[in-house]
Amino acid sequence: MSNDSIIDWFKLKAQFGHQDLLKHWLTDFIAGSDQELAQLQLAVSNQQCPDGLLLQLQGMAALVASPSLHRCVQQLKHSEQLTVDLESTLRCYQQLVSEITHYLHQH
């Protein structure tokens, strides 16, 4: 993948070890991504980030090996500009979904 990737593909592929297993898991991830996207959009609208959403995003960042999403979550934890940081996290999540979708279409 490209240098501007928000996913550490080397690490992610190493976690799964088998291409078919990775593709299956990423397909499941994309299938559930609308729910997380809706929760993030609600958080932006309400200008608040529930602890459960923060934990969910933190887990996702680890599972998909995304240093970018991890940085966004860390920023949210210590946010002084919650709306700005929530919007940044939403954009990052949308990019993450887009990158995974692109990967699945290529493979």
Q: Which of 3-7, 26-30, 45-49 has the lowest mean pLDDT?
A: 3-7
| pLDDT value for 3 | 56
Which of the four pLDDT bands, split at 50, 70 and 90, describes residue 101? very high
- From residue 91, how far is each of 7, 10, 25 by CA, in Å? 14, 23, 22
| pLDDT value for 5 | 87
- From residue 105, how far is each of 6, 10, 23, 43, 76 by CA, in Å? 17, 18, 10, 30, 31
